[in-house]
Amino acid sequence: METIQERILKALKELPNINPADVDALSEAQQDKNVSLVKTLLKQGLISEQDLLILLMRELHVPSIDMTKYRFDERLKTVLGEKTARQYMVMPISLLGQTLTVAIADPLNVFMLDDLRNVTGKEIDIVIASETQILRAIDRFYKSAATAAADTGMSMEADQQEEPQDAVGEAPVIRIVNLVIKEALRQRASDIHIEPLEQGMRVRFRIDGILQDILTIPKESKNAVGVRIKLMANLDITNTQTPQDGRFKMKVGKQEVDFRVSMLPTTFGQKIVMRVLDKNNLSVGLSNLGFSKSAVIVLEESVYKPYGMVLVTGPTGSGKSTTLYSLISKLNTPDRNIITIEEPVEYLVDGLTQIEVRPDIGLNFAAGLRAILRQSPDVVMVGEIRDAETADIAIKASLTGQLVLSTLHTNSAADAVTRLVDMGLEPFLVASSLVLVCAQRLCRRICDSCKKPMDIKPEVLKKIQHRIKPGTVLYEGRGCERCRGTGYKGRVGVTEVLQIDDNIRDMLLKRSTSIEITRYAQKNQGMKLLFDDVVDKMLAGETTLTEVFRVASEEE
């Protein structure tokens, strides 16, 4: 059987501008001296460092990583010390459970990997990087013996999450997929994007709502990675021409994390997006999601009403589903019949009857909602109101004894009220059924580890100076290892809660505009607009001025 080294040498001979005789001579000299093939190749100048990296990725099916863009976890210093890192020319990347992932320049050195297992007491998973980048990363990472933890007295124990179910040491493609998933969980990613390019696959994570480049998967592994994820999600591995959707579960520590998978055919292959759905987020409570105390009180009071409609509105990615599920979790008791209809089902929750929309067989929101109402539900959640038919059925259900929760895509809470009328529904039905509308966004939190006062340009300050008292200090994050240089870590909810009282019902019957409804609610209910809420969070030092203008405008 052909050894890995023989395969590398064979591939090397097939490269353009390489003389096979030079390869044979180099191989003989390397074996005589019993030194590393990788070091010999680089020392002799037969191939450039970058070309060798690409060759190793292709032949070994091991992903590469761009060390210049990677932010390292300070706690890994206690797992792999500087002396060992320099001795073996390796850089610690992540620790998940008992598996330490390291970047190495010489993946052929199996003795070094065995030594690392013994030194660290961990299983070793690898990615490839150039020796130059690894040396620079080691210099940067271990530049000071005094770490941030030593300064603050914090524990330096690394994350102790359980490893994914597939064992390390199986097929290379399993290691690649596991590496991506492990790193996504460690970095709190909400989505994993694996995108085919002409010369490989780009992996990006959506962290705090923003996509970030993570690593590159070699071109030769594109199909294998796609097949592996399809098998995990129970999808058709022979279908590469049409979109597919699926899901799978993975145990992390003592918790199970759900992953929703979407496959989309593109020019260079299938793009894969995996949505990370952690059910722990549903039990943290609205206040821990960043909702103000007054908003939490009003929201929780509304869902304990025996009937009526509660709407959550906002753009895609604003956390509407998380809010609805957080509310439903409070109602999820044995004495209630709770049924949801969604596209797709976001979270699988015990105690709920959950239905997924299937337009291909005629099961749309309207048809599903009709069927649900024949099941004598106490609470109904409709994933989204998209058309007048669904809205009409949902509203009538809320008037006949059910509590209905749903979402709508509008910019503000008052816009949702008038949108239903604009869809053709009778104003008296809307007025009678609506209990509350919550508009929301998500803004990024300033990283506590690198938080610092910020300088504000006069022209920017002018826009919000009426909200800032003299001497007020605003903050930003300078960027550090813990936040991957972004200055942000985590997100906080921004809300606008509109209670439907008798006066607003009268305004609906008179077909008042959303602006008129908003002004009334501000004056008489003390409703805080999205812009006001995010500004308050900026003044409290939770977020930045940049996020204020990214998330909401004063006109909203």
Mean pLDDT of 266-279: 90
Q: What is the pLDDT of residue 421?
A: 92
Which pLDDT value is given to residue 284?
60
pLDDT category at 150 given cuts 50, 70, 90 is very low
Q: Among 255, 239, 256, which Cα is nearest to 247's? A: 256
Work out the average pLDDT over 493-510: 93
- Report, as an integer, the average pLDDT of 207-218: 89
User: pLDDT at residue 35 above 70?
Assistant: no
What's the mean pLDDT in 220-231?
Answer: 86
pLDDT higher than 60, residue 168? no
CA neighbor of 383 nearest in space, from 343, 435, 350, 355: 343
**Global confidence as pTM:** 0.67
CB atoms inside a 10 Å sphere around CB 303: 19
What's residue 460's pLDDT? 67
pLDDT at 163: 43
| pLDDT band with cut points at 50, 70 and 90 for residue 169 | very low
Q: Kindly report, residue by residue over 407-442, the tens digit of the pLDDT.
A: 998 989 999 999 999 999 999 999 999 999 999 999
Please determine, for residue 305, whether its predicted confidence score (pLDDT) is greater than 50.
yes
pLDDT at 148: 34
Count the alpha carbons within 13 Å of 354 in the hemisphere toward its beta carbon. 16
H-helix segments, 196-292: 222-232
Q: Angle formed by the axes of helices 514-524 and 502-509, to 10°?
A: 160
Query: Which residues lie across from 90 on neighbouring strands?
Result: 104
How many whole angstroms separate alpha carbon 71 and alpha carbon 92? Answer: 11
Residue 241: pLDDT above 70?
yes
Average pLDDT for residues 332-342, to the nearest whole number? 93
What's the pLDDT at 167?
38
